[in-house]
Chains A and B, each alone.
Chain A
Amino acid sequence: MQLAVLGLNHNTAPVGVRETLAVDGSELAEIYSEIMNNDRIYEAMIISTCNRVEYYIVTDDFLCNIESVLEIVSEHCKMDRSELRKYTYIHCGEDSVRHIFRVASGLDSLVMGEPQIFGQVKDSFENCRLYGGAGTFLKKLEEYTIKTTKKVRTYTGIGENPVSVSYAAVELATKIFGSLSDKHALIIGAGEMCELASKHLVTAGIGGITVTNRTFEKAQRLAGEVNGSAIEFDRFKTCLPDSDIIISSTGATDLLVTAADVKETMAHRKRRPMFFIDIAVPRDIDPLINELENVYVYSIDDLKAVVDANRKQREKEAVKAMEYIDAGLEMFYEWLESMKIIPVIKSLRQQFEEKKEEELKRFSSKFKVEDKEELAKIEYLVTAYMNKVLHTPLKNLKNASAVKGRYSLDEALKILFELEDVK
Chain B
Amino acid sequence: MFFDLSILCAVLALLHVTLFIFMGYQRLAAITNIFAVLGLVFSSAQFITLWQTKHMLPFGSVSGLFLFLAQALMLVYIMMYVKYRRLTLGLFIFPLTVLFVMIARFAGGMPANVNPHAAGFWLYIHLPFTIIGTAFFMVSTIGGIMYFVQERQLKNKNFGIIFRSFPPLDTIDKLINTTLYIGFYTFTIGLLSGLIWMMYAKGMINIFSPKLVFAIITWIIYSGITFYKQIKGMSPKDTALSTIVGFISVLITYVGVAFFVMG
Contact = CB atoms under 8 A, between A and B. Distances in A.
A175 B163 CA distance: 9
Contacts of B24: 156-157, 317, 320
Contacts of B238: 271
Nearest to B170: A178
A258 interface: no
A174 B159 contact: no
Contacts of A372: none
Contacts of A155: 25-27
Interface string A144-165: 0000000000111100010000
A302 B157 contact: yes
Interface of chain A: mostly helix, strand, loop or mixed: helix
Nearest to A177: B170
B178 interface: no
A338 B156 CA distance: 57
Interface in B225-250: 233-238
A306 interface: yes
A273 interface: yes
A175 B154 contact: yes
Given A175-B154, A175-B168, A296-B154, A309 B159 contact: yes
A361 B234 CA distance: 96
A313 B238 CA distance: 33
B16 to A, nearest CB: 15
A179 interface: yes
B73 to A, nearest CB: 24
Nearest to B233: A270
B235 A176 contact: no
A272 B164 CA distance: 22
A305 interface: yes
Nearest to A270: B233
Most buried by A among B23, B160, B236: B236
Interface residues of B, number: 24
B83 to A, nearest CB: 13
B154 A294 contact: no
A212 B160 CA distance: 34
B171 interface: yes
Interface in B1-36: 23-27
**Which interface class (under 10, 10 to 19, 20 to 34, 35 or more) fits A?**
20 to 34
A175 to B, nearest CB: 5
B155 interface: yes
Contacts of B154: 172, 175-176, 296
Given A179-B170, A270-B233, A306 B25 contact: no
B168 A320 contact: no
Contact of A313 (B23, B25, B164, B169): B164
B157 A293 contact: no
Contact of A270 (B160, B170, B235): B235
Interface in B167-184: 167-171, 174
Given A294-B236, A296-B154, A298-B157, A320 B171 contact: no
A272 B173 CA distance: 11
Contacts, number: 61
A271 B235 CA distance: 5
Contacts of B168: 174-178
Contact of A306 (B159, B234, B236): B159
Q: Which of B24, B160, B237: most chain A CB closer than 10 A?
A: B24
A257 B188 CA distance: 46
Given A155-B25, A302-B157, A317-B24, A178 B171 contact: yes
Given A176-B154, A302-B157, A305-B159, A320 B25 contact: yes
Contacts of A309: 159-160
A302 B171 CA distance: 23
A68 interface: no
Contacts of B170: 176-179, 273
Contact of B157 (A156, A305, A320): A305
B106 to A, nearest CB: 40
Interface in A318-373: 320
Contacts of A156: 24
Nearest to A312: B159
Interface string B123-160: 00000000000000000000000000000001101011
Nearest to A302: B157
A178 B170 CA distance: 5
A74 interface: no
A399 interface: no
B120 to A, nearest CB: 45
Interface centre among B23, B155, B160, B174 (most CB of A within 10 A): B155
B176 to A, nearest CB: 13
A49 interface: no
Contacts of B163: 175
Contacts of A51: none
B169 A273 contact: yes
A290 interface: yes
A293 B235 contact: yes
Given A175-B169, A176-B154, A296-B155, A154 B26 contact: yes
A272 B23 CA distance: 34
Nearest to A323: B25
A176 B155 CA distance: 11
Contacts of A175: 154, 163, 168-169
Interface in A58-99: none
Contacts of B167: 178
A271 B171 CA distance: 17
Given A157-B24, A290-B155, 12 more contacts: A155-B25, A175-B154, A176-B154, A176-B168, A270-B233, A270-B234, A270-B235, A296-B155, A302-B157, A309-B160, A313-B164, A320-B23
27 contacts: A156-B24, A161-B164, A174-B168, A175-B168, A176-B154, A176-B168, A176-B170, A178-B167, A178-B169, A178-B170, A178-B174, A179-B170, A270-B233, A271-B235, A273-B235, A293-B237, A294-B235, A294-B236, A296-B154, A296-B155, A298-B157, A302-B157, A306-B159, A309-B159, A309-B160, A317-B24, A320-B25
